[in-house]
Each structure stands twice: as structure tokens, then as C-alpha cells.
Amino acid sequence: MKFPRSKKEFLHLLKKFGAADIEAWVRERKAFKANDVYEYLFLHEIWRCFENPNDSSFTNERMERKRARLERNPRYGDPTQFKIVEKMRAAGISPSDISTLILHAQFDLAHQFLYALDDPNIGKDAELSEAMKLGVYLEDDSDRPIKSSRWSCVHEMLRHARPSSYPKV
């Protein structure tokens, strides 16, 4: 797919990638900018890392595959997770409900991380917070940040980048 160069092409990309809230991208963006595409693709990639209750990782079969992988290579995690999930499943909690809980925790973490990039608020210390200039920028061919490409309030668009295959959070 070629890189979108217009609002119409951007909307086509949003539809192709299955964005659930296309209207929010139209509503929040008065005029099309290339930054919109980069921001959406970045947020879309974050969503692909989230647990999806519609395709739960906590079914018995998937948990057994994870357990076998961990036994083969202990660097892949901590076996404590299996005990916790087994307790939850024994208590009658469905794989979908476990996934929903995980999805909300992942969303909250990503939202706070993205917010911190824009407004670090270091331990409520105004001087340190002001000195810490974080942000997401595009880079030129020499790997220098392009000042006009700084994303702001990207955390506010995380919810709107949700793929339609995921439930609302």
C-alpha cells in the first residue's frame, strides 16, 4: 500500500487496517498531515500488542503451549502466571474475562506511558518536569528530530486507534 498523501487516502488506510473509530480521526484532525498517518500506525502497532478478549490467550490449549515453551526456555517468563490463571479458571472466570482484565490493564499502562511522553510530571517536581523534554518526533534523513513533526496528546488518540476486532475499553 502506498503512503497516504491526502485525507481520502488516509481514510482508506484507516478502513483497511480496521480502525473502529474512523470518525474520531476525522473529527480531531481539521486538515490532513503526514503525522496523522505515522501516529495512527504507531498506535495501531501498540494495539496489536494488547490482549484481545475475542481471541483469548487464556484458553486451556494456549496456556499449555505457553507452559511447554516456558519449560523449554525459562527465560520466557515466570511460572507464577500459570498458577494465577489456574486459580481464576477454577473459580469459574472465563478466558474472555481474564483477557478483558488484561486488556484494560495494558490499555491503562500504554495510556499513562504516552501521557508521560507529553507531560512527564517527575515526582510532582516542577523544575525537573520542565527540564525533561520528552516527545515523539519524526526524524529527517540525518536522524535529527523534525521540530514541526512533534506529536502532542497522542495518548488521547490511543482509544481511537482501536482495531474493530477489539472490544471498547
* pLDDT over 70 percentage in the chain: 96
pLDDT at 120: 63
pLDDT at 20: 92
Give per-residue pLDDT as tens, 59-86: 888 888 888 988 999 887 788 888 899 9
**What is the maximum span of the chain, computed from C-alpha positions, in angstroms?**
56
In this predicted structure, the answer to whether residue 30 has a pLDDT above a threshold of 70 is yes
| pTM higher than the cut 0.85 | no
Task: Output the nine-digit C-alpha cell for 149.
Answer: 513533526
Q: What residue segments make up the domains of the chain, in order of their start? A: 7-51+101-161
Contact 127, 15 (CB under 8 A): no
Chain centre to alpha carbon of residue 5: 24
Residue 159 CB contacts under 8 Å (≥ 6 apart), including other chains? 21, 24, 107, 111, 169
Q: Cβ–Cβ contacts within 10 Å for residue 25, how many?
A: 20
